[in-house]
Amino acid sequence: MMNDVTFGQYYPAKSFVHSMDPRAKIVLSIAYIVAIFLANNFFGLAAVTLFLVIAVAFSRVPAGSVLRSVKMILFVIVFTAVLNLFFYSSSDELHVLVKWWVITISWESIINMIFLAMRLFLLVLGTSVLTLTTTPVALTDGIESLLTPLKWIRFPVHELALIMSIALRFIPTLIDETNRIVSAQKARGANFETGGLIKRAKAMIPVLVPLLVSAFRRAEDLGDAMDARCYSGSKGRTKYKKLTFGWRDAIGLLLLAGLITGVVFLNIYFGGKFAILNYFL
């Protein structure tokens, strides 16, 4: 039932990346995203890709599982890529290939499309390495710990982290529930498969309403259960899992610092993404 939701699903294994501190992994992921957007030519993206390949290799997560995470947003990537292909406009002089009505395809727009698609791919793949190797609990612990400074301005860090981990914990439960409701409505003759977009969206109402009602009931039950287990906010609360920054994290951060420096040098050395055209045209 859950097979097609790889994004945000933990892949249990014992590896270098799995045993890294979630805080280090979160910081690394953010820095990795920065590197993706910092790179302004294909050599930079190649460097980022190399880093990603190393990370996946050391995570012992099968490449297939990592790639599957792209499936969910493949449509978004294709859609933006196509839009960029047709409507790319720039003040630069363009090497136009096709010009028809409002659509212009040029060498530049092709390059731009490939570049954009690569960026999005790398973005999704990189972040899914984080979620595949880090349990949702560790992830929220990491976020809570990283956001600790915000406690000074009375930002409810603990509450936010708890809300996040509970939300993650209820995803499979609510998916099961949705499937159950869909089956129940189908049994009563509801039709989800045919009809236009609006008709199908309308058909979802009898699913969403009971789902929402049951979510509220579950929330109330959970509140009682948490009360019964002595929950009274972050005050006087201890944590069982302690986060420790280790040598693996240091290596990871060093590698990433190297990557960002490399990307910056490649940017300066090879120039922008269109510089590649000079070799061909």
End-to-end CA distance of the chain: 51
Q: Is position 172 an interface residue for another protein (rule: CB under 8 A)?
A: yes
Closest CB 264 distance from another protein, rounded Å: 39
Closest CB 110 distance from another protein, rounded Å: 44
The residue count for binding another protein (CB under 8 A) is: 30
Return the residue of 79, 239, 250, 261 that touches another protein, per CB under 8 A: 239
Return the residue of 31, 33, 117, 166 that touches another protein, per CB under 8 A: 166
Q: How far apart are CA 184 and CA 217, in angstroms?
A: 19
Closest CB 192 distance from another protein, rounded Å: 25
In this structure, are residues 137 and 12 in contact, taking their beta carbons and an 8 Å threshold? Answer: no
Site string (126-145) toward another protein, x via CB under 8 A: ---------xxx--------
Point out which residues pair with 100 in neighbouring strands.
Answer: 103
Site string (173-192) toward another protein, x via CB under 8 A: x--x----------------
Site string (4-23) toward another protein, x via CB under 8 A: --------x-----------
Contacts with another protein, residue ranges (CB under 8 A)? 12, 135-137, 165-166, 168-169, 172-173, 176, 218, 221-222, 224-232, 236-242
